[in-house]
Amino acid sequence: MSMWLHQSGDALRLAARRLIASPVNTLLSVLAIGVALALPAGGQMLLANALQLARNSTPAPQISLFLDLDADKRAIRDIDGRLKNHPGVKAYRLIPREDTLARMKANEGLADVIEALPKNPFPDAFTVLPADDRPEAMEQLAAELGKLSKVAHAQLDSDWARRMAALLKIGRTGVLLMALLLGVGLIAITFNIIRLQVTTHRAEIELSRLLGATDAFIRRPFHYFGVLLGLAGGIVAWMIVAGATWWLRGPISELAQLYSLEFSLRPLALVDSIALLAVAAALGGIGASLSLSKHLRDD
Amino acid sequence: MIKVDHASKRYPPGFDALSDISFEVAAGELVTVGGHSGAGKSTLLKLIAAMERPTGGAVLVHGQNMGSLKRTAIPYLRRNLGIVFQDQKLLFDRNAFENVMLPLTISGFPPAEAQRRVQAALDKVGLLGRQKAMPIMLSGGEQQRLAIARAVVSRPNLLLADEPTAHLDPETAADVARIFLEFRAVGVTVLIATYDDSLFPDARRLVLAQGRLQ
């Protein structure tokens, strides 16, 4: 174990030394990887912000239950009880028909019309705030509540939610697609860089074999080289996204203010940042592994 | 220590580098393999170091058949073997100390102990004062001595050398030869391929000509 640690430490130092030994090449490679990763990372950042904006600026989706006009106090108590115990209901509120009538009368244009009616035309109603705000879940809850006795109609105010969900889905798919494509690109970049590294260090590889080095020993520094390159590229990507966030924050806040929205662009979340670095390092390692299995096989 | 039993090596399309070679080397012996260039000396050393496999017969080192070793077993076997290569194979991007350190790094020596051993090996060949020198800054004789230090740093009981005194002036060659004699004196088995075996008057001599033992 301690031998493995020593050898890994040595390999890591060697890999770092090789990276530093050709600074221009390293810088260009890291920039290429960084720019490639910055696109999906930036996409993720924008997506997270769009989601945030959507949550903050639209009212929470709710289900309106309109009762039958002949629903009595007992029926209302009955529904009240069911809503109280339903796990899918986060909050609910009764709107008595008298209140609705009063509110409608307060509306100048409608007051005369309502006065002319022989009796209160409005039903009692409940507004229900679902616990789960995914469109499918809300729809299911609305359908279920619509079947309660004395409920005439359950209306789901979900059009906006569906549209938003569809938009976010496109955004997510786009980011994923971009990440996949550029991930493959990153593997290809590392593959080629490691091929060049193997060629450059051919003499050393050959000598190490003659001195009794195992395949694992020979591969290790190249593998770490790929991982370090990927990691450095990830850091560059993170800095590009952070820079873009900082740069865009002013103009976007201005725009938000014009729409009377309280919004300011947030940088990449911690989890996303860690994921970015981990994926970058892993892709670098995969590219290196593939390249090594091809270029170190038989010498 | 070494047993070569009717070994031959044929390279395609039909060139016989070695034909039906048999000899044994006992532990602690000093043996030179003479002959003109192209006689098969390097090929013989390559068979013993498992760098090549014989196409006929067998080569046994420490009782192990080098021709039938698994690929994964070869590294561990080579660690007990000191080899001075004909072209030295020094790494020119590492200094003298790091060049000698390489075999110990490969076999996973604890760093502190490894450092002492590297210094002992460099001292042995008279290069202790030049640890930090890059190989390019060393003279031909010093480069050869550095290659020897690297071959002996892991204290192998078998030392193979391929033309270690070639391209050296007589004085330097004698100096290098003396180093091999010193290793032999402490019990290391030494096998040297050389066209000039007059440098090793005490050695048992084998002579190859056109791939056959004379």
pLDDT tens track for B43-99: 999 999 988 899 999 999 988 898 888 888 889 989 989 999 988 899 998 899 999
Which tens digit of pLDDT belongs to each residue from A231-265?
999 999 999 999 999 999 989 888 888 887 778 88
Chain B residue with CA closest to A214: the answer is B75
| Chain A CB contacts of B81 below 8 Å | 212
Structure-model confidence comparison of residues A133 and B102, the more confident one: B102
Mean predicted confidence (pLDDT) in A33-61: 84
Give residue limits of the domains in chain A. Answer: 2-57+162-295, 63-157
Query: What share of chain A in percent tops pLDDT 90?
Result: 38
Q: Count contacts between A and B (CB, < 8 Å).
A: 49
Q: Does A192 touch chain B (CB under 8 A)?
A: no
Judge whether B169 and B180 are in contact, CB under 8 Å.
Answer: no
> Does the pLDDT value for residue A69 go beyond 60?
yes
CA angle A273, A224, A269 (to 5 degrees): 0
Q: Do A3 and B79 touch (CB under 8 A)?
A: no
| Chain B CB contacts of A219 below 8 Å | none
Judge whether A6 and B108 are in contact, CB under 8 Å.
Answer: yes
Q: Report the residue from A203, A207, A212 with minimal CB separation from B76.
A: A212
> Does the pLDDT value for residue B214 go beyond 50?
yes
> Does the pLDDT value for residue A80 go beyond 60?
yes
Instruction: Say which DSSP state B51 is in.
Output: S
Phi and psi angles of residue A195, each rounded to the nearest 5 degrees, phi first: -60, -45
Judge whether B205 and B175 are in contact, CB under 8 Å.
Answer: no
| Chain A CB contacts of B106 below 8 Å | 208, 211-213, 217
CA distance A235 to chain B (A): 29
HSE-CB of A10 using CA atoms within 13 angstroms: 20
How many C-beta atoms surround the C-beta of residue B171 within 10 A?
8
Instruction: Say which DSSP state B194 is in.
Output: -
Q: What is the spatial distance between Cα B44 and Cα B54, in angstroms, rounded to a whole number?
A: 9
Which tens digit of pLDDT belongs to each residue from A132-180?
877 788 888 888 888 888 888 888 876 776 777 788 889 999 999 999 9
| Chain A CB contacts of B102 below 8 Å | 207-208, 211
Give residue limits of the domains in chain B. Answer: 1-80+156-214, 90-155
Query: Could you tell me the fold of the domain covering A63-157?
Result: Alpha-Beta Plaits (3.30.70)
Say what the pLDDT of residue B14 is: 84
Which tens digit of pLDDT belongs to each residue from B103-113?
999 988 888 89
Q: What is the spatial distance between Cα B163 and Cα A248, in angstroms, rounded to a whole number?
A: 70
With bands split at pLDDT 50, 70 and 90, how would you rate the model's confidence at B115? very high
Q: Report the residue from A7, A10, A211 with minimal CB separation from B103.
A: A211
Q: Does B137 touch chain A (CB under 8 A)?
A: no
Which tens digit of pLDDT belongs to each residue from A83-127?
888 888 888 888 888 888 888 888 777 777 877 888 888 888 888
Span of A23-27, A114-118, A198-202, A220-224 with lowest mean pLDDT: A114-118
Q: Do A210 and B72 touch (CB under 8 A)?
A: no
Contacts of A31 (CB under 8 A, 6+ apart): A233, A236
**Architecture, CATH, for domain B1-80+156-214:** 3-Layer(aba) Sandwich (3.40)
CA distance A9 to chain B (A): 11
Please name the residues between 40 and 99 in chain B that touch chain A, using a CB distance below 8 Å. Answer: 49, 51, 72, 74-79, 81, 83, 85, 89, 91, 93
Say what the pLDDT of residue A128 is: 87
Question: Counting beta carbons within 10 angstroms of the beta carbon of residue B107, is it exposed (0 to 12), middle (13 to 18) or buried (19 or more)?
Answer: buried
Q: Does A10 touch chain B (CB under 8 A)?
A: yes
Judge whether B21 and B4 are in contact, CB under 8 Å.
Answer: yes
Phi and psi angles of residue B196, each rounded to the nearest 5 degrees, phi first: -120, 80
With bands split at pLDDT 50, 70 and 90, how would you rate the model's confidence at A299? very low
Q: Do A212 and B85 touch (CB under 8 A)?
A: no
| Chain B CB contacts of A297 below 8 Å | none
Averaged confidence pLDDT in chain A: 87
Mean predicted confidence (pLDDT) in A29-52: 91
Q: DSSP for A28-50?
A: HHHHHHHHHHHHHHHHHHHHHHH
